[in-house]
Amino acid sequence: MTEHKKTGNTREILIAAGLEELNRYGVAGFSTRRVAKNCGLSCATPYRHFKDTDEFISAILTHINQLYDEDLDRTLRRCEGMDTRQKLVEVSLGFIRFLVQHPQFRRVIMQTVEYTGDNIRALRGQLTQRTYDVVSEYCREVDMPDDVRLRKTFVVRAIIYCSALFFDNGELEFNEESMQVMRGLLEREFDLP
């Protein structure tokens, strides 16, 4: 694991190192002691900033959510004047770009959550909630039945996560042409009954 420099805000350094820890060991294997060691800090240092491991992991997820919220807000500002369906496609493409630009976030949010508390599950789900809200808004606008809305939401999420994974592992080249393919898939999904 990377040795972290002691420059900057210690809490931010711990969050960055904690993100690496989550990517490498998952929630179940997360070790505050190992994070501190990798930062060149004492094993007590994380507990000066976080009450316990759950609060530490929650801070990491909150950090990810804040970055995505900022990114989503920029996307929504660019979507002003668009209809909800166009906004839905742009938000979905923005989420793909965000996950490609931050693969460590995708790995964290896609991990199994069986060992986590309710707060961590809620924070993990928060990342996709605003995208889900745009899908739901569109579905309401077109009077889509709940079962169809659930299916479409699932398919849109599958397109987002799978394309980010394919870009990350090199199965697809991350370029504008590939993003246009993703745009077509998203638009087509909402043309289907």
CA atoms within 13 A on the CB side of 118: 0
Residue 102 lies in a domain: yes
Q: What is the CATH number of the domain that holds 9?
A: 1.10.10.60
| Structural domain that includes position 4 | 1-50
Divide the 193 residues of the chain into consecutive groups of 10 and give the mean pLDDT of each group: 57 94 87 95 95 92 90 92 90 93 81 66 74 78 86 88 92 96 92 73
Task: Give the H or E element holding residue 173.
Answer: none
Asked whether 190 and 152 are in contact (CB, 8 A), the reply is yes
Do both 16 and 79 map to the same domain? no
Do both 28 and 107 map to the same domain? no
Closest CA to 68 of 17, 125, 148, 3: 125
pTM over the 0.85 mark: no
